[in-house]
Structures are given as structure tokens and as C-alpha cells.
């Protein structure tokens, strides 16, 4: 989380029209710049980032170091490709822009994207590097695109002149299927000199690596919110469907002791599981209602493959919770089924209510209600009469038996 002012030097010369990085070198570059700006501003809110172009009609500062991400993204839009890159002038102008930064406490850093051949002499670049080092400016070089003889050597010499205690880096990105931004995510340019980096960079790196990620479904919500949301919703629906099936099985075995205590114990298990989940999951689930909370917790815990919590225990808790709240289970069930099945859903609902044993268990769970109380039985009878005719016949039989 080092406080830093960064100037990004963009190569918008003719060489950037080439398509060896998809979709074009310049597009890949623009994506990488956007990613870097986001990472820098997120790692420390007081960080500032500025952008300048090195080719075109000449070195031009597009935006002076600012922490306003919108401004930076806006200026990247509508850039034109043309001319020849002037690396030396670009770095010197960047140094000047950093010198006049508003907050003198920020460390100075320049990030250079060198996609076209470097026409300067190695000596000149070394001199520039020494001047940067003297004024304690760090330099990151992204060497991609054109690879003529001597370019890599010159850039390495520049880096050696600037490097002070490993604060400066060079990254060589060969053309290939991987996007420029993906390759850069795992480099020290993003992770900030191995200090542990920002949460953004670390999470993005994990997501790109495709391995265990700190996020729900291996997708960073910051990078792709729609995809993350879609995955989460589909996971919830799957959960709900499985819950309805499990609930039916558990319904038979539902005991009368499960009452108000169950809901409070359910809350306890909920919070316990919340403690187990990562802080990211916590932030997400606190926004949800309690109904979704239970399902999402399970989805999260399962996706994280957390060995600390017992899968079986969770499933049982879930089915008990679902059994406890028949309307919830049915509502979920209804939501996943087709509209054509609505009538069936309706009858399911009334079937449940008409189910004598189930209703009496519910009533027993309510404090202060005695199922043997005649007034309660009368109420039950009236409820039964409201159910559908075919069910009424079946249920009234056992109902009347019990009444007697």
C-alpha cells in the first residue's frame, strides 16, 4: 500500500497497429493501462496516476497525476495511432510531470510501454536512468511488440541504471494467445515490489491463474460483475432445487421438538459459518436477506471447499431450516420450476397445509399452543375444509380419527 504517483508512458506509434496481440497491439495496451490504473488507485486511495503519449505529433501529457479513475479512462478513449515513439523525451517529460505532483510525499514511478523499436543510443538511455535513480524515481518497463536487435539490450541497460534496490522492473511479453493484461497481472508491476500488493492485484492474479481464488466462483466481481452474479444466481437455484428435494425427505422425519429454538440455533450456525467464510464472502452475504443468506452460505462454503465445516451437518441444517419454513421451500421450488407447473405448485402448498401430521408438528412448535386444545382442532378442521376437494377426503379421514 505504498503511496505512489505514477506516470504511464504509452507508445501510440505506427507499430502499434500490428495484430500480433489480439485484437491489436494498441488495444491490448489500452486494456493493460486501464487495469494498472485501477490497481494503483485501489491499492491506496491517495495514489495518483497520469498518462502521456510518446508518439504522435510529439510527447503529450494526456492527464496529469490524478486519483480520478474516470478521467484517466476517458482520456484513453479516442487515442490515435501514428508517428514514431520518442522514448527519451517521454521519460523526461514523465519525470517532470512527477516532479510537479501535488503531494510531495508520494513515491515517484514511471511505467513505460515500449512496443516499437528504440532508436536512442544505449549511453543516452543509461544517462537518463542514472538521473532517474538520483532523483529516486522508479521505472517499470513493459517490453512487447517489435523486437529488433538491441532493443531488449538497451532496455535492460536502462533498467540497470535506474534500479535502486529492486524497485524497478522490466517485463518482456512475447506475442501469443495470452492477453497483455493477463501476463502483466502476475508481474511485480502489479503486485508492487512483492509487498503483498493490493487486494485487487492479488485477487486478479489468482483469478487469472485459475487456481484457488478468494472469490466465490473463481471470477473477480470487480473484473466481471455480470458473470459473477450469473454464476451466483445459478448456484442458488441449484441449491434451492436440491433443498426442496431434501426437504421432502426430511419432512417425514421432522420432529416436534424443532421449534423456535431451531431458528435461533440456525442463526448461530449461520454466524458460525460466516466466521469460517472469507471476509469477501461476509461482505457479500450481509447485503442479502436472511432467506438467501442461508443458501448462499452453503454455496460459498461448498465452493471454497472448506474442510473445517462439516458438509453433512450443513445439509441437515439446511433441510431442517427448509422444513421449518415450508413457504420458503415451496417458493424456491416454484421459482425454479416452469410456469406451467404452477398449478402443481399450488396443490403442493395446499397438500402441505392439509397434511395433518405436518401442521400439528408446526403448531406444537409454537409456544403456548396445545394441539389437543379443542379450539385448535376446530381451526385445523376449518383449514382442512379449505383445501382442495380430492385432498380433503383423504385428510379428513385421519383428521376426524384424531379428533375423536
Partner 1 sequence: MACLHDHSCEEHDCSSDWSLYKHIDLTKVSALNEATTGSVKSVFKAWEQRLNSSGDFLESNEGDPELLVFIPFTSDVKIKGISIVGGADGTSPSKMRAFINRDGIDFSDAQSMQAVQEWELVENIQGVLEYQTRYSKFQSVANITLHFPENFGGDTTQIHYIGFKGEATQLKRDVVATIVYELTPNPSDHKTKAEGGGGLSHVGK
User: Would you tell me which residues interact with partner 1 (CB under 8 A)?
Assistant: 99, 104, 130, 133-136, 164-165
The phi-psi region of residue 56 (left if phi > 0; otherwise alpha if psi is between -120 and 50; otherwise beta) is left
Judged by beta carbon, residue 57 or residue 100, the one nearer partner 1 is 100
Judged by beta carbon, residue 135 or residue 279, the one nearer partner 1 is 135
Helix/strand/coil percent split, the chain, to 5: 60, 10, 30
Judged by beta carbon, residue 167 or residue 319, the one nearer partner 1 is 167
Question: Which cell numbers in the block locate residue 88?
Answer: 527519451
Q: How far is the CB of 133 from partner 1 (least distance, A)?
A: 7
- CB distance 56 to 83 below 8 Å: yes
Judged by beta carbon, residue 163 or residue 242, the one nearer partner 1 is 163
Q: How far is the CB of 129 from partner 1 (least distance, A)?
A: 12
Q: How far is the CB of 161 from partner 1 (least distance, A)?
A: 10
Tell me how far apart the alpha carbons of residues 220 and 224 are, in angstroms, rounded to a whole number: 6
Q: How far is the CB of 131 from partner 1 (least distance, A)?
A: 9
Q: How far is the CB of 379 from partner 1 (least distance, A)?
A: 59
CA distances in angstroms from 141 to 167, 183, 226, listed in the order given: 12, 14, 33
- CB distance 115 to 29 below 8 Å: yes
Judged by beta carbon, residue 67 or residue 164, the one nearer partner 1 is 164
Q: How far is the CB of 105 from partner 1 (least distance, A)?
A: 9
Tell me how far apart the alpha carbons of residues 303 and 292 are, in angstroms, rounded to a whole number: 16
- Nearest CA to 356 out of 327, 396, 302, 301 is that of 396
Judged by beta carbon, residue 89 or residue 379, the one nearer partner 1 is 89
Amino acid at each position: 500500500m505504498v503511496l505512489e504517483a505514477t506516470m504511464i508512458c504509452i507508445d501510440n506509434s505506427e507499430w502499434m497497429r500490428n495484430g500480433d496481440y489480439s485484437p491489436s497491439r494498441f488495444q491490448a495496451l489500452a486494456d493493460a493501462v486501464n487495469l494498472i490504473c485501477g490497481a494503483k488507485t485501489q491499492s491506496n486511495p491517495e495514489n495518483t496516476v497520469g498518462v502521456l503519449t510518446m508518439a504522435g505529433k510529439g510527447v503529450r501529457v494526456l492527464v496529469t497525476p490524478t486519483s480520478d479513475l474516470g478521467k484517466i479512462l476517458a482520456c484513453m478513449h479516442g487515442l490515435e495511432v501514428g508517428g514514431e515513439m520518442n522514448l527519451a523525451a517521454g521519460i523526461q517529460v514523465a519525470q517532470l510531470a512527477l516532479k510537479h505532483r501535488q503531494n510531495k510525499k508520494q513515491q515517484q514511478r514511471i511505467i513505460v510501454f515500449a512496443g516499437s523499436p528504440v532508436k536512442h543510443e544505449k549511453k543516452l538511455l543509461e544517462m537518463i536512468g542514472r538521473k532517474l535513480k538520483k532523483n529516486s524515481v522508479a521505472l517499470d518497463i513493459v517490453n512487447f511488440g517489435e523486437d529488433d536487435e538491441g532493443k531488449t539490450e538497451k532496455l535492460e541497460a536502462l533498467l540497470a541504471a535506474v534500479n535502486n534496490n529492486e524497485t524497478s522492473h522490466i517485463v518482456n511479453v512475447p506475442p501469443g494467445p495470452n492477453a497483455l493484461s493477463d501476463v502483466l497481472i502476475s508481474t511485480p508491476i502489479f503486485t508492487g515490489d512483492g509487498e503483498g500488493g493490493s487486494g485487487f492485484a492479488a485477487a486478479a492474479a489468482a483469478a487469472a491463474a485459475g487456481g484457488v481464488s478468494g472469490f466465490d466462483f473463481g471470477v473477480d466481481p470487480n473484473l466481471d460483475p455480470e458473470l459473477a452474479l450469473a454464476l451466483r444466481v445459478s448456484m442458488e437455484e441449484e441449491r434451492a432445487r436440491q433443498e426442496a428435494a431434501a426437504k421432502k425427505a426430511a419432512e417425514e422425519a421432522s420432529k416436534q421438538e424443532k421449534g423456535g429454538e431451531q431458528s435461533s440455533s440456525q442463526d448461530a450456525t449461520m454466524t458460525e459459518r460466516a466466521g469460517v467464510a472469507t471476509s469477501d464472502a461476509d461482505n457479500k452475504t450481509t447485503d442479502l436477506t436472511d432467506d438467501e443468506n442461508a443458501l448462499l452460505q452453503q454455496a460459498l462454503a461448498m465452493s471454497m471447499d472448506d474442510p473445517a465445516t462439516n458438509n453433512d451437518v450443513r445439509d441437515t441444517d439446511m433441510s431442517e431450516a427448509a422444513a421449518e419454513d415450508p413457504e420458503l421451500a415451496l417458493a424456491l421450488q416454484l421459482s425454479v420450476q416452469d410456469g406451467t407447473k404452477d398449478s402443481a405448485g399450488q396443490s403442493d402448498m395446499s397438500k402441505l397445509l392439509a397434511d395433518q401430521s405436518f401442521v400439528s408438528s408446526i403448531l406444537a412448535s409454537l409456544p403456548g399452543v396445545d394441539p389437543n386444545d379443542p379450539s385448535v382442532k376446530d381451526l385445523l378442521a376449518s383449514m382442512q375444509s379449505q383445501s382442495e376437494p380430492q385432498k380433503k377426503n383423504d385428510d379428513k379421514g385421519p383428521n376426524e380419527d384424531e379428533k375423536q
